[in-house]
Amino acid sequence: MQIIIYGSLYGSTKRYAEHLSEITGIEAVAFKDAKDIAKYDRIIYLGALFAGSVLGLKKTVSRMSVGQKLTIITVGMVDPSDPENIDYIRRSIKGIVPAQFYDETHIYHLRGAIDYSNLTLKHRMMLSVIHWKISKMPEEKLNAESKTILSIYGKKLDCVDFESLEEIDL
């Protein structure tokens, strides 16, 4: 048995989880509502990337049992084809997921959406500080993530692409 568990901040991860559920017939549930996950052979976890972490992943893996399989799908605004971004995300995940699961975990990355008008005050302030710091850096020192933050700051952008789910090996 499989289950889709997701952690969504502003909705794009939930959209992906619900669409994946529709096309696979696998139940999707928010990580806060996931009960008795030990009965599943495989956990497909979709998590929003924010502030260097994957929302709800730590809580979910802490409830997993030896022998369960894990697939992680991150959703964020950084370019999932950029090797530097992927390396950073994978290091973050490796710090959360116990080695007994990480070594056999399949990890995928999808683009999400952002609408600054819907962000909480805390998140707007945090991104404002990050944007200010990045904007003071010389162009040659900017990495791909920094360039993304500069280009989307204050805007509404939806990069959700349901066709990208087809690349995920379930």
Helix axes of 83-96 and 144-152: crossing angle, nearest 10 degrees: 100
Q: Are 82 and 146 in contact (CB under 8 A)?
A: no
Of 163 and 155, the structure prediction assigns the larger pLDDT to: 163
Confidence of residue 86 (pLDDT cuts 50, 70, 90): confident
Per-residue pLDDT band at 160 (split at 50, 70, 90): very high
Interval 21-75: pLDDT, tens: 999 999 999 999 999 999 999 999 999 998 778 999 999 999 999 999 999 999 9
The pair of three-digit structure tokens given for residue 63, joined into one six-digit string: 């409830």
Q: Report yes or no on 151 lying in a domain.
A: no
In a domain, 29, yes or no: yes
Look up the domain containing 41 and give its range: 2-113+157-167
161 domain-assigned: yes
Domain membership of residue 99 (yes or no) is: yes
- Strand 69-76 and strand 106-111: pairing? parallel
Quick: pLDDT tens for 97-130: 999 899 999 999 999 999 988 988 998 898 889 8
On whether residue 19 sits in a domain, the answer given is: yes
pLDDT at 144: 77
Residue 101 forms part of a structural domain: yes
In this structure, what CATH number is given to the domain that contains residue 9? 3.40.50.360
Is residue 79 a part of any domain in this protein?
yes
**In this structure, are residues 145 and 111 in contact, taking their beta carbons and an 8 Å threshold?**
no
How many domains would you assign to the chain? 1
Residue 122 within a domain: no
